[in-house]
Amino acid sequence: MPELPEVETVCRGLADALIGDRFTRITLRRENLRFPFAAGFAESLTGPRIETVGRRAKYILMQFEGDTALIGHLGMSGSFRIEKDVDPGTPLDPHDHVIFETERGLRIRYHDPRRFGFLLLADRASLLDHPQLRGIGPEPLGNEFSGPILAERLAGRKSPVKVALLDQSVVAGVGNIYACEALHRSGISPRRLAANVGRARAERLAAAIRQVLEEAIASGGSTLRNYSQTSGELGYFQHHFDVYDRAGTPCTTADCTGVIERITQAGRSTFFCPKCQR
């Protein structure tokens, strides 16, 4: 599933192309994705100018002049592809489920083979109180996130810290890949109980989360299966993984002689070095 860096990269691509533009035609090629499309979905988004495109956790938020907003989620395999000067006769892929056409002559295809993504209409005035967004924790790249804040949110939790980091009420947007990478960088075992992380480790972990997310965004995200940027270009942060999907290889930490291991936590693969992560 695309995580914060992948969604941020998609948002930046959409923002660069769409802010100030408007949709002139929206074609729904099926009745639903993960959820059915709202009645009047295409009509509600056709006409008003697009004012902002942003992100909250792993959600894409598009706000239009007036009262309308769009909440998007890429699910497991969703992607947006921005195209210009497309020949109308160019065939579409069977998994291109929504086609957006704009006043500036752009065509944006929402492609989703597994259809776990969704596009929901929302009221702009109460956007952040929408059920999909309510209760999400602090943005890890924002000023509201820090070591003390993370320590406070982990305090009293009896789950392993890796599992706690995947809880979006603890910190927004962090998924399996970047939790593994941040824990390795901060030298914290994914098996350590969240309640036992403490202030000093939380400071290291918060800094590592921010660092790894910023580096991944600069690399266009990580492409493991379906993810691509709005241009169609793949992300390449996967070439810089220290632990994720590297079981059996030597640890990259200086002077560490450990070997990366894989365990399962809450049904997800966790990769770590048992020697330097404590």
Q: Is 115 a catalytic residue?
A: no
Q: Is 268 a catalytic residue?
A: yes
Handedness of CA 196, 200, 205, 210 (dihedral sign): positive
Q: Which of 2, 5, 140, 160 is the catalytic position?
A: 2
Q: Which of 49, 115, 262, 268 is the catalytic position?
A: 268
Q: Is 162 a catalytic residue?
A: no
- The 10 Å CB-count burial string (b at 16+, else e) for 23-32 is beebeeeeee
Q: Which of 55, 56, 58, 162 is the catalytic position?
A: 58
Rounded to whole angstroms, how far apart are CA atoms 72 and 249? 37
- The 10 Å CB-count burial string (b at 16+, else e) for 98-127 is bebbbeeebbbbbbbbebebbbbebebeeb
Q: Is 6 a catalytic residue?
A: no
**Which residues form the catalytic set?**
2-3, 58, 268
